Amino acid sequence: MLAYYSATAHADFWTEHWGGHTVEELLAVARASPLTTLIVNALPPVGVVLEAGCGLGQYVILLRERGWRAAGVDGSVEALAACRRVIAVPLAAADLRALAVRSGAVTAYVSLGVVEHDAEGPDAILAEARRVLAPGGTLVISVPYVNGLRRLGAPWLRRRGRAIAAAGGAFYQYAFSRRELLAALGRHGFAPQATHPYDPARILRRALPRRLIAARPAATPPARARPSGTPAGRRRLGWARALARRALYTEPALRLLGHMLLVVAQRA
């Protein structure tokens, strides 16, 4: 596992993180995201779905809109309160390592980008996930992925992490290889059914704005000189985006650039 450290990874981190977004904003993203298709295709058609680490609750809302009996738990009371101000859905503050949920009570357990933040590793949360899942229940879990790019940069990432820790930074998260995540699931009696790297454009989203700002001319050209301002230009831009998206979601690109890894597994 690759360990990441941050100068801002303190007790209030998640409250501050969610404070930068709105429920409506994240719900709109979820409705259009390829990740949502992966999640809903993996879920059983009936039963209770628990999202562990639901944040502002956008997936709890979305799943309930689509007919599932979904509920959410999270450690940030402020994030849960923000969701409740928008819509009344079943939410509770909880430690994911010790849930106030009856054993075997849920049919599906969804956890997106959560277990990696436990400095002691994912085992305590996975053990509790197994306890609350019914036999044969579905686990849908995602973690930061040691993709091809991270694998190549691992020596530099480790040196950087040690430097941040030595300067007083706190542990932030782990990134997992496919083998490491599958091994952790196997230790807790989960049988993997499918794996999906996703979010390959994250590195581009981080880099592009800076490049565009740096390359922006001092004077904005007239509308007729901007190809994207014409119907034909907009069509060309749409085709270019579609082609780029198709290229990013090929298996080689996902293995090289996928920011997160989603695994669907079944509780034995």
Q: 72 and 140 share a domain?
A: yes
SS3 12: coil
Is residue 260 predicted with pLDDT exceeding 50? Answer: yes
Residue 123 lies in a domain: yes
Q: 169 and 208 share a domain?
A: no
Q: 60 and 167 share a domain?
A: yes
Instruction: Give residue-wise pLDDT tens across range 1-53.
Output: 999 998 765 555 666 566 678 999 999 999 999 999 999 999 999 999 999 99
Q: 63 and 191 share a domain?
A: yes
pLDDT value at residue 17: 66
pLDDT grade for 149, boundaries at 50, 70 and 90: very high
Q: 151 and 263 share a domain?
A: yes
CB 191 within 8 A of CB 132: no
Q: 86 and 16 share a domain?
A: yes
Q: 42 and 124 share a domain?
A: yes
Q: 240 and 143 share a domain?
A: no
Phi–psi pair at 257, nearest 5 degrees: -120, -10
What is the residue range of 229's domain?
204-248
Q: 194 and 217 share a domain?
A: no
Q: 68 and 135 share a domain?
A: yes
Q: What is the rounded distance in angstroms from the CA atom of residue 190 to the CA atom of residue 172?
A: 26
Q: 111 and 180 share a domain?
A: yes
Distances (CA, A) of 223 to 32, 183, 229: 30, 56, 6
CATH of the domain at 10: 3.40.50.150
pTM of the complete model: 0.83
Is residue 233 predicted with pLDDT exceeding 70? Answer: no
CB 267 within 8 A of CB 190: yes
Q: 218 and 165 share a domain?
A: no
Instruction: Give residue-wise pLDDT tens across range 82-121.
Output: 999 999 999 999 999 999 999 999 999 999 999 999 999 9
Q: What's the start-to-end Cα distance of the chain, in Å?
A: 25
Residue 149 lies in a domain: yes
pLDDT value at residue 128: 98
Distance of CA 149 to the CA centre of its chain: 18
What tokens were used for 142? 């995602």
Q: Total structural domains in the chain?
A: 2
Cβ neighbourhood burial of 124 (10 Å; 0-12, 13-18, 19+): middle
Residue 253 lies in a domain: no
